[in-house]
Structure 1
Amino acid sequence: MATKTKTPTKKKEPKHLDRDEFDLEEIAYTLSGSQEENKTKVFTIYKKGEPLTGMVTKMDANTKLIHIKDKYMDIHKVHILDILSVSECDY
């Protein structure tokens, strides 16, 4: 009787980073503040090569998407779990 050998399974990369509650609260507070200020911010985003520069136009609680308008007036919808940091724009 032949025995079956298990083929190695590929580990799935997580869709979003695992973050603790304190980090998420801090980012949510920063995002809501930047939406009220209407100032341009720099967003570091998970799995994105370059930072995104723009303004927060909408925060959707149902989908957990943050709508960011860049300088070309394009809207980028980013999941809140994918935002690693928010910083001031240097210009």
Structure 2
Amino acid sequence: MARTPTLFSAPKTRVLACIIGVLITATLITAGGATYLPFNEIDRIGVPILLFPVTWTLLFLFAAMARSVWRVWAALSLLSLVHAGLIYQHLAG
């Protein structure tokens, strides 16, 4: 009898991705939002802060429900690297 793949495989890695990975990624997305949102100066700071809970919730649900933990880590890493690059580009010049 063939074993069917479970939805919540690797629970320790998945919990680590849900807690630490999502928090870091959501924070970088919030900080990076101030660099590319087309608002005036005050709204560039306020809108990402107000959208932080939405961003965190969506990333948490993705990390909890994705079939592959490696895809979760790849998506979180890619989002983090892109937004870290945007922050660096904005601060450098």
Structure scoring higher RCO (CA < 8 A, sep ≥ 6) equals 2
- TM-score range (shorter-chain normalised) is 0.3 to 0.5
TM-score (norm 2): 0.37
- The structure in which a higher percent of residues are strand is 1
TM-score (norm 1): 0.37
Query: Which protein is bigger by CA-based radius of gyration?
Result: 1
